[in-house]
Structure formats: structure tokens, C-alpha cells
């Protein structure tokens, strides 16, 4: 019994120590961002603020607000579009397989893993040609296209769990391809859409490489603006921390509220699902 | 009998034409996405490949054929050699730690302790953050004059973290000193902090899928808890380990934003990686052909891991 209790205490000890380590970045972000400027120093990084001061948030908000909005304008349409296309593809690839459809799926999946550096130069040439370079729409299209593999994968695995018999009986009742999609599949896909939407929302919000290369200053999404904020020598790091927290807030909130769906998306990304 | 048969035949015919119509619709549903993928992924990769063997190393595009000149330049280049060295050590340390921590934590969390969901959420939330946010915060936590070093003062150790230019066990290799760059540890810590949640979630899902009877049977056979994990559970979790290794490997081979936001190239390129070099040489230096060559090398490195994985896992799927 004593042995057992000791091992339980040891387990808790390890978990608590690691949990504290995992939370230190959050602690430092919060504490630093709430300090008035004269308390921000390298020596007192860990100490609590003597009084709460929100001026770093107003400062960071002033700096980042336009870019925050850019990210909203980017993320909402890009997420919706890529979810809808993913659902269409997933429906075909799970319920209407044809000769070669499995091959097509594998060819699509590879796109999920490529380093985007390897398509970046032609992409930028293409976007300039069609007049979408340095526009939010250029970024939207980019994220929709390069999001296709993962959204297709997620919906295909999701739809594979819907029994074929449901579709067959709907077909006997006279439903055609579109009818089955609209009246059988879509009503059953709400949780699928939530998983895919959360996944795309998080990824597109957090993305940096496309954002920094396809847009210039005024059109920069939030993460590029945050990076510029932290790279600038004149901005104090209480403002940087407040900025980091503001930039992280939307995806953190989504995680806190809908964490279960976020984890499902995480697991679905490993091809087999 | 006769008319009935005719009706049957007619409905059958109707069903068939409807089916072939449906099939056409299915292809039409998939076609736009597939065409987009063909152009934006495969076409663009081909185009990048072409740029990588061209002379386009100024602002003005120049598609004249350069042969392998850009590749030869890169492999002889001090910075690129340092990048390859850093990538090797970053990848090994990063994957190793993510696997060990994720597996260890998932086993601890799976012990039916109180508060397991709180622990799970604490280890998982960094997954929801951007590498840029991670980089900005960890740049301060591992800043040699503050952050964790304030605690380490007690033990009288003051690591220089990402500012350290030391190369451990180094030896001359090409232009560079090949060995473990100490500064890489700082970046690895930040990356592990962010990505451990992934392997934790994967392993936890795997552990939850192992039936209790299996452990029970091993216990009856006289196996200790440790033996059960080593001989029964770890082998069952092997496919998950393979998936985690592959997915982490491709993340680590193409990593860019974390390092760009946290340390940049570092003194003497001790924290530089191909992703950062590609970005800077292409978009800050206008060496498009060199940048394209780096990108193609990155793609090939990733493909070595991904293609066999995709093919084998798709085969298992069918």
C-alpha cells in the first residue's frame, strides 16, 4: 500500500513539474504584459506587477488592430471555402469511388506534406500575373488550394463512417448524387464541419510563410505584424507580450471552448485517422 | 407477366442512366480540386525545379539554362552546409524528445489519476498557438540575461542558449565545423514545447484503444507493469510511433517561422535552417534560382520520408 501511494505521488510530481514548465510561457506573457513600463526589466521578469497596467494592451492593440482584421477577413472565407470543397471531395472519394479515384486521392494527399517553399516562387509569379499579389484574396485562394488535401482527407475519413446502406436506401427512394449529398450527407456532417473548420481556422490564423511573402505591410495578417513588432528595437517587450497574447487569443479561445474537436482534427491529420 | 417485366426493365434502365449521370456528377465534383492540385502543387513544383536550374539570380527573371550551377554553389556554400548540419541535429533531438515526452506523459495521464483532463489540456494547448507566438515568447525565456537563467543562477549555471556559438564534438567537414551546435537546443526546447501535445494526443488515443483484457492476460501470466509496457503495449503502439516520427520529421525539415521569429540565423549561422535561408536569399536577396534550388532540396528531403509512408499507409487502407 505504501509502495502504491509512493508511485502515485511520483506520478503526480512528474506531471505537476512538467505542467508548471509548460505553463511558464503563459505566466511570463501575462505577467509582463500587465506591467507598467518602468517595471519591465530583465532582472524582474518573473516577479508579479505591483499594480495592473493595461497600457501595453492598448499600445499593442493600436499596432495590431488593422492586421487582426486582415486575419479575420482572410480566415473566415478561406475556412468556409476549403471546408465546402473538402466535403465535396470527401463525399466522392468515400461514396462514389471510381477507377483511379484512390490514386487521385494519394496524389492529392502528397500536397499536404510538401514544404511550401517549393511552390512559393511560381505562386507569387502567378498571383502577380492575375493581379492578386498583395491582396487578402490572393491569400484566401492560396490557403483554400493548399488546404484541399487536409480537408479532403478529413471529410473522406469522416464520410467513410456513414454506412453505405443509408445511401442505398435514399437512392431507392429516388435520390440522385446531389440529393444524397444534400439530404443525407450534409445533415450528418455538422461535427465533421466543426472539426475541419477549427483545424483550418487555427492553421490559417497561425500561418506565417504565405502571409509574409504574399502581402506587404498594410495587408499583412496578424502573425507577420507580430513578428515585426517583436523584431523592432523600439518596441518594449511588455508590448510584445501583450501583442503575442492578442494574436494568440482567437485560436486559444477556440481551443478552450472546442478543444475536443481540435484534438480530433489533430488526430485526423495523420493520414489513417 | 409480360408488362410487369417491361416495367422492371424500364426502371432498371432508368436506374442505370441515373447512375451513369451520378457518376459523371461525381467526377465533376472532384475535378476542380484535382486540377487545382495538379497545377498549384505539381505544376508549380516543376516550375520551381526549372527556376532552380536557371540563371535567375537578380530582380529581373532570367530563365536561361544554368545546369546544376546553383546546386553546386549551395553544396559548397558555408551557410548551406551549416543549415544541413543544423537540420540533422534539430530533427534528431526534436523527434526524440517529442516521442519520449509524448509517450511518457500519455502513459502517466492514462493511469486514471484525478485531474487528467487538466493535465492533458495543459500539455496540448501550445498546439493551438502559432510558431510565431512561440518564437516571440521563447526568445525571452531563453534570453541569456533573463528568463530561465534567473533560476539557474541558484545552481551557478548560465547557459548562453541560442547565442552560444560552440559546436560540440566538432570536426572539419567541407567549409564548416560539423558537430552539435549548442544553440540548437534552445530552438529544440521551444519546438518540443509546442509539438509534444501532438504525440501525446496520438499515443493517448492509441492507449485508450488497447483493451483492458490484454493487460489483464499479461498480468495473469506474471508480467510486471514495466514488462507489460515493454512487451505488450509499446509494440502495439509502434504504428503510432511511425506516424509521429514521419509527421514530426516533415515539420522539422521545413521549419521556418519558429526559427525566424525566435533567433533568426544566429551568429555564425548556428541556428540557421534551409527554410530561413530560402526565404532570405529569395525574398530579401533576389537570388531566385538559389532559393528555388534550396526549396527543391527541402522537397526531396521531405519526400524521402513522406512518399514511402503515404504509399504504405494507403495500401493498408485499401
Q: Nearest-CA distance from B171 to chain A in Å?
A: 30
With 0-12 / 13-18 / 19 or more C-beta atoms within 10 angstroms meaning exposed / middle / buried, residue B282 is buried
DSSP state of B16: H
The phi, psi pair for B173, rounded to 5°, reads -155, 110
Q: What is the pLDDT of residue B177?
A: 87
A13 and A134 inside one domain: no
Secondary structure of chain A as H, E, C letters = CHHHHHHHHHHHHHHHHHHHHHHHHHHHHHHHHCCCHHHCCHHHCCCCCCCCCCHHHHHHHHHHHHHHHHHHHHHHHHHHHHHHHHHHHHHHHHHCCCCCHHHHHHHHHHCCCCCCHHHHHHHHHHHHHCCCCCCHHHHHHHHHHHHHHHHHHHHHHHHHCCCHHHHHHHHHCCCCHHHHHHHHHHHHCHHHHHHHHHHHHHHHHHCCHHHHHHCCHHHCCHHHHHHHHHHCCCCCHHHHHHHHHHHHHHHHHHHHHHHHHHHHHHHHCCCCC
Interface touch A267/B202, C-beta < 8 Å: yes
- In terms of pLDDT, which residue wins out, A43 or A96? A96
What is the pLDDT, as a whole number, of residue B226?
A: 87
- The Cα-based distances of A97 to A187, A197, B276 in angstroms read 21, 25, 41
Query: CA B29 → CA A111, B15, B24, distances in Å?
Result: 19, 20, 9
| Cβ <8 Å between A118 and B298 | yes
* Residue pair A169/A134 in contact by the 8 Å Cβ criterion: no
| Whether residue A165 is found in the same domain as residue A46 | no
Rounded Cα distance between B187 and B200, Å, is 20
Residue A248 to residue B133, Cβ atoms within 8 A: yes
Interchain contact, B47 vs A121, CB within 8 Å: yes
Instruction: Note whether A16 and A129 are same-domain residues.
Output: no
pLDDT confidence tier of residue B2, bands split at 50, 70 and 90: low
Chain B touched by A200 (CB under 8 Å): no
Which residues of chain B neighbour A8 with C-beta distances below 8 Å?
113
* CB-CB neighbors (< 8 A) of A107 in chain B: 34, 37-38, 42
Query: What are the residues whose beta carbons fall under 8 Å from the beta carbon of B51, sequence distance 6 or more?
Result: A121, A122, B63, B288, B289, B292
Other Cβ atoms closer than 10 A to A66: 14
Residues A91 and A193 in one domain: yes
Q: B87-114 burial by CB neighbour count: b if 16+ within 10 A, else e?
A: bebbbebbbebbbebbbbbbbbbbeeee
Domain boundary among A38, A53, A68: A53
For residue range B236-285, list pLDDT tens digits in order.
Answer: 999 999 999 999 999 999 999 999 999 999 999 999 999 999 999 999 99
Cross-strand pairs, B176: B173
Residue A106 predicted with pLDDT over 90: yes
Q: Are A180 and B22 in contact, with CB atoms under 8 Å apart?
A: no
Q: Which residues of A touch B22 (CB under 8 A)?
A: 96, 176-177
How sure is the predictor about A4, in pLDDT bands with cuts at 50, 70 and 90?
low
Instruction: Indicate yes or no: CB of A271 within 8 angstroms of CB of B313.
Output: yes
Residue B11 lies in a domain: no
User: In the predicted model, what is the mean pLDDT of residues B73-92?
Assistant: 96
- Residue B15 within a domain: no
Residue B130 and residue A223: Cβ atoms within 8 Å?
yes
Q: What confidence score (pLDDT) does residue B13 get?
A: 75
Same-domain check for residues A79 and A121: yes
Answer whether A118 sits within 8 Å of B250, measured CB to CB.
Answer: no
What average pLDDT does the segment A74-93 reach? 97
Q: What is the CATH number of the domain that holds A90?
A: 1.10.3720.10
Cell of A258: 472546442
Asked if residues A196 and A83 have their Cβ atoms less than 8 Å apart, the reply is yes
- CB of A177 within 8 Å of a chain B CB? The answer is yes
Query: CB distance A272–B317 less than 8 Å?
Result: yes
Whole domain around residue A256: which residue ranges? 56-270
pLDDT digits (tens, 9 = 90+) for A12-43: 999 999 999 999 999 999 999 999 888 888 88
Does residue B192 form part of some domain?
A: yes
Q: What does the alpha-carbon distance between residue A90 and residue A85 come to, in Å, rounded to a whole number?
A: 8
Chain A residues with beta carbon closer than 8 angstroms to that of B275: 115, 117, 209
Rounded to the nearest angstrom, the minimum Cα separation between B156 and chain A is 16
Task: Name the one residue in this structure whose C-alpha cell is 494526443.
Answer: B201
pLDDT(A272) > 60? no
Give whole-number Cα distances, B255 to A115, A117, A172, A230, in Å.
9, 10, 51, 19
Q: Could you tell me if residue A57 is left (phi over 0), alpha (psi between -120 and 50 degrees) or otherwise beta?
A: alpha
Beta-bridge partner residues of B171: B178
Q: Alpha-carbon distance B163 to B265, whole Å?
A: 11
pLDDT bucket at B317, cuts 50 / 70 / 90: low
Residues A214, A139 share a domain = yes
pLDDT at B19 over 60: yes
Same domain for A87 and A1: no
Taking the Cβ of residue A106 and every Cβ of chain B, the question of whether any pair is shorter than 8 Å is answered with: yes
Question: What average pLDDT does chain B have?
Answer: 92
**Number of domains chain B contains:** 1
Label residue A271 by pLDDT band (50, 70, 90).
Answer: low
What is the tens place of the pLDDT at every residue in B199-216?
999 999 999 999 989 888
Q: Which residues of A fall within a CB distance of 8 Å from B135?
A: 227, 230
Residues in chain A: 273
Looking at every residue in chain A, the average pLDDT score rounds to 92
**Boundary of a domain, candidates A53, A68, A96:** A53
Q: What share of chain B is helix, strand, coil (3-state, %, to 5)?
A: 75, 5, 20
- The verdict on pTM exceeding 0.90 is yes
Q: How far apart are CA B206 and CA B196, in angstroms?
A: 15
Shortest Cα distance, chain B CAs vs residue A61, angstroms: 16
Q: Residue B318 — pLDDT band, cuts 50, 70, 90?
A: low
Q: Which three cell numbers stand for residue B17?
A: 442512366
**Do A107 and A236 lie in a common domain?**
yes
pLDDT confidence of residue A270: 67
Count CB pairs under 8 A between chains A and B: 264
Packing angle of the helix pair B44-52, B288-317 (nearest 10 deg):
140
Name beta bridge partners: B65. B54
Local structure of B250: helix, strand or coil = helix
Q: Do B108 and A14 touch (CB under 8 A)?
A: yes
Q: Between B30, B104, B279, which is nearest A92 by CB?
A: B30
Q: Decide: residue B59, CB within 10 A, 0-12 exposed, 13-18 middle, 19+ buried.
A: exposed
Q: Inform me whether the C-beta atom of residue A202 falls under 8 Å from chain B C-beta atoms.
A: yes
Q: Domain of B239?
A: 78-317
Q: Check whether A273 has a pLDDT greater than 70.
A: no
Kindly state whether residues A153 and A62 are assigned to the same domain. yes
A270 interaction partners in chain B (CB closer than 8 Å):
202, 243-244, 247
A271 and chain B in contact, CB less than 8 A: yes
Length of chain B equals 318
| CATH, residue B193 | 1.10.3720.10
Q: Chain B contacts of A98, Cβ < 8 Å?
A: 23, 26-27
CB A242 within 8 A of CB A59: yes
Question: Is the pLDDT confidence value at A2 over 70?
Answer: no
Contact B113 A12 (CB under 8 A): yes
* Last residue within a domain, chosen from A14, A36, A53: A53
ipTM comes to: 0.92
**Nearest CB partner across the interface for B205, out of A106, A110, A267:** A267
For residue A110, give the nearest of B43, B101, B310 by CB distance. Answer: B310
**Rounded CA gap, B38 and A110, in Å?**
11
Check B309 against A122: CB less than 8 A apart.
no
SS3 B269: helix
- pLDDT of A219 > 80? The answer is yes
- Determine the angle formed by the axes of helices A55-95 and A2-33, rounding to 10 degrees: 120
Q: At what angle do helices B78-109 and B234-253 cross, to 10 degrees?
A: 150
Is residue A171 over pLDDT 90?
A: no
Cβ contacts of B124 on chain A, cutoff 8 Å? 255, 259, 263
Summarize pLDDT for A189-214 with one digit per residue, the tens: 999 999 999 999 999 999 999 999 99
Instruction: Judge if A128 and A14 occupy the same domain.
Output: no
Closest CA to B25 of A109, A219, A177: A177
| Whether residues A151 and A265 fall in one domain | yes
Closest CA to B39 of A148, A261, A3: A148
**Considering only CA atoms, which of B133, B258, B125 is closest in space to residue A223?**
B133
Q: Is B242 on the interface with A (CB under 8 A)?
A: no
Contact of A96 with chain B, judged by CB distance below 8 Å, is answered with yes
Structurally, how many domains does chain A consist of?
A: 2
B271 touches chain A (CB under 8 A): no
Contacts of B194 in chain A (CB under 8 A): none
Residues A144 and A223 in one domain: yes
Instruction: Please indicate whether, in this complex, the C-beta atoms of B295 and A121 are within 8 angstroms of each other.
Output: yes
Query: Which of B45, B108, B125 faces A118 most closely, judged by CB atoms?
Result: B45
- The pLDDT assigned to B175 comes to 85
* Measured CA distances, A26 to A48, A132, A161 (Å): 13, 37, 39
Q: Which three cell numbers stand for residue A243?
A: 501583442
Cα B178 to the chain's mean position, in Å?
Answer: 23
Nearest chain A CA: its distance from B67 CA (Å): 18
pLDDT for res B1: 47
Q: Which positions in chain B touch A241 (Cβ < 8 Å)? A: 136-137, 140
Ranking A61-65, A155-159, A264-268, B248-252 by mean pLDDT, the lowest is A264-268
Amino acid at each position: 500500500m505504501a509502495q502504491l501511494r509512493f508511485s502515485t505521488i511520483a506520478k503526480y510530481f512528474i506531471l505537476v513539474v512538467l505542467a508548471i514548465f509548460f505553463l511558464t510561457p503563459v505566466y511570463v506573457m501575462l505577467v509582463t504584459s500587465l506591467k507598467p513600463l518602468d517595471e519591465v526589466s530583465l532582472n524582474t521578469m518573473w516577479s508579479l506587477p505591483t499594480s495592473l497596467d493595461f497600457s501595453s494592451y492598448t499600445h499593442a492593440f493600436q499596432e495590431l488592430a488593422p492586421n487582426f482584421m486582415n486575419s479575420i477577413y482572410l480566415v473566415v472565407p478561406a475556412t468556409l471555402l476549403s471546408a465546402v470543397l473538402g466535403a465535396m471531395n470527401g463525399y466522392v472519394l468515400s461514396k462514389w469511388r471510381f477507377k483511379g479515384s484512390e490514386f487521385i486521392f494519394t496524389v492529392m494527399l502528397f500536397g499536404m506534406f510538401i514544404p511550401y517553399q517549393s511552390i512559393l516562387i511560381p505562386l507569387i509569379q502567378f498571383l502577380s500575373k492575375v493581379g492578386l499579389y498583395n491582396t487578402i484574396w490572393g491569400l484566401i485562394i492560396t490557403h483554400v488550394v493548399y488546404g484541399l488535401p487536409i480537408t479532403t482527407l478529413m471529410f473522406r475519413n469522416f464520410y467513410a463512417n456513414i454506412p453505405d446502406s443509408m445511401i442505398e436506401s435514399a437512392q431507392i427512394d429516388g435520390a440522385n448524387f446531389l440529393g444524397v449529398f444534400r439530404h443525407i450527407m450534409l445533415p450528418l456532417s455538422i461535427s465533421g464541419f466543426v472539426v475541419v473548420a477549427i483545424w483550418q481556422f487555427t492553421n490559417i490564423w497561425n500561418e506565417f510563410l504565405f502571409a509574409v511573402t504574399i502581402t506587404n505591410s498594410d495587408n499583412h495578417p496578424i502573425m507577420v505584424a507580430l513578428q515585426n513588432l517583436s523584431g523592432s528595437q523600439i518596441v518594449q517587450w511588455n508590448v510584445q507580450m501583450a501583442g503575442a497574447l492578442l494574436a494568440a487569443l482567437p485560436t486559444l479561445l477556440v481551443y478552450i471552448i472546442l478543444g475536443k474537436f481540435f484534438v480530433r482534427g489533430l488526430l485526423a491529420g495523420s493520414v489513417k485517422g | 407477366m409480360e408488362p410487369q417485366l417491361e416495367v422492371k426493365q424500364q426502371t432498371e434502365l432508368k436506374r442505370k442512366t441515373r447512375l451513369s449521370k451520378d457518376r459523371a456528377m461525381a467526377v465533376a465534383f472532384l475535378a476542380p480540386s484535382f486540377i487545382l492540385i495538379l497545377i498549384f502543387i505539381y505544376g508549380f513544383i516543376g516550375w520551381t525545379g526549372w527556376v532552380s536550374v536557371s540563371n535567375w539570380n537578380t530582380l529581373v527573371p532570367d530563365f536561361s539554362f544554368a545546369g546544376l550551377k546553383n546546386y553546386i554553389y549551395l553544396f559548397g556554400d558555408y551557410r548551406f552546409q551549416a543549415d544541413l548540419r543544423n537540420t540533422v541535429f534539430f530533427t534528431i533531438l526534436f523527434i526524440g524528445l517529442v516521442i519520449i515526452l509524448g509517450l511518457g506523459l500519455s502513459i502517466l495521464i492514462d493511469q486514471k489519476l484525478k485531474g487528467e483532463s487538466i493535465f492533458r489540456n495543459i500539455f496540448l494547448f501550445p498546439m493551438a498557438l502559432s510558431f510565431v507566438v512561440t518564437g516571440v515568447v521563447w526568445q525571452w525565456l531563453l534570453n541569456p540575461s533573463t528568463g530561465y537563467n534567473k533560476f539557474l543562477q541558484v545552481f551557478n549555471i548560465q547557459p548562453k542558449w541560442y547565442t552560444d556559438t560552440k559546436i560540440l564534438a566538432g570536426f572539419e567537414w567541407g567549409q564548416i565545423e560539423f558537430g552539435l551546435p549548442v544553440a540548437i537546443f534552445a530552438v529544440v526546447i521551444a519546438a518540443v514545447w509546442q509539438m509534444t501535445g501532438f504525440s501525446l494526443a496520438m499515443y493517448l488515443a492509441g492507449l485508450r484503444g488497447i483493451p483492458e483484457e490484454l493487460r489483464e492476460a499479461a498480468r495473469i501470466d506474471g508480467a510486471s507493469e514495466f514488462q507489460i509496457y515493454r512487451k505488450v503495449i509499446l509494440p502495439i503502439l509502434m504504428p503510432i510511433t511511425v506516424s509521429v516520427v514521419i509527421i514530426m520529421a516533415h515539420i522539422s525539415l521545413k521549419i521556418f517561422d519558429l526559427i525566424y521569429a525566435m533567433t533568426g540565423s544566429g551568429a555564425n549561422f548556428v541556428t540557421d535552417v534551409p527554410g530561413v535561408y530560402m526565404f532570405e536569399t529569395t525574398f530579401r536577396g533576389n537570388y531566385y534560382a538559389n532559393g528555388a534550388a534550396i526549396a527543391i532540396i527541402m522537397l526531396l528531403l521531405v519526400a524521402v520520408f513522406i512518399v514511402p509512408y503515404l504509399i504504405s499507409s494507403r495500401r493498408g487502407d485499401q
